Structure 1
Amino acid sequence: MSTLPLPSPDGGRPAVRMQWLTCALDGRDHAVVDHDPASGAHLSACAKTVWAASLASPPAARCPDCRDAVGETAATDRRTRVLARLRGRRAA
C-alpha cells in the first residue's frame, strides 16, 4: 500500500491523500480517497466501493479508472511478476 498526494486544482498543496489498496472483490489496486470506519468500506478515485484484501498480499494490477483519475500512465504499473511472487518480497 502506498500513499501519494492527489494534485490540487490550483497547483499548490495536495487536496487529498490517497492510498493504493487491493480490493478483495476484484483483485485490483484502487486509489482510496475516503474510508468509512463504521462499515470498513473504502471509496476509490473511480467511485467504486473497495473492501480491503489482506494487507500482507503483494500489490496487484492497478485499476485503469483509478490510474486515469490520478493522472498515472500505464508504465507506472507496479504489478509483481510471477517469479517475484514465488520468491517472496523482501521488506523495504
Structure 2
Amino acid sequence: MNEKGEVESVSLSEFGNWIVETIEQFLTMLQNISSPLFMVVLGISAFVLVLGVLLGSNKLRGAGGGGLLFAIIAFLIVRNAETVVGVLESFTNNAP
C-alpha cells in the first residue's frame, strides 16, 4: 500500500520473486529445526519399534518402522531443499 492507502499493482515477475523469497525463508527455517526434530522423531519411533518387538505387536512394529522411514525421508527432503528452490527459481525466471 502507498501513503494514500491504495494498493499498488505488482508485476508477475515481482510476485514470483516474492513467492520464491518466502519459500526460501521457510525452507531455511525448516533446515534449522530439522536436525533436532529428526532426532526426537527418530528416538520416539525407535522406542515404539522396540516396544512392538518386545510385546509382539505388529501394529507397534509397523508404527515404529513407518515413523523411522518417514523421519529419514522427511529429513532428506528438507536437507536437499536447495534443489527445490532452484527449480522454483527457474520456473519464475522463465515465466512470460
TM-score for both structures, normalised by structure 1: 0.23
TM-score for both structures, normalised by structure 2: 0.22
Q: More relative contact order in 1 or in 2 (CA 8 Å, sep 6+)?
A: 2
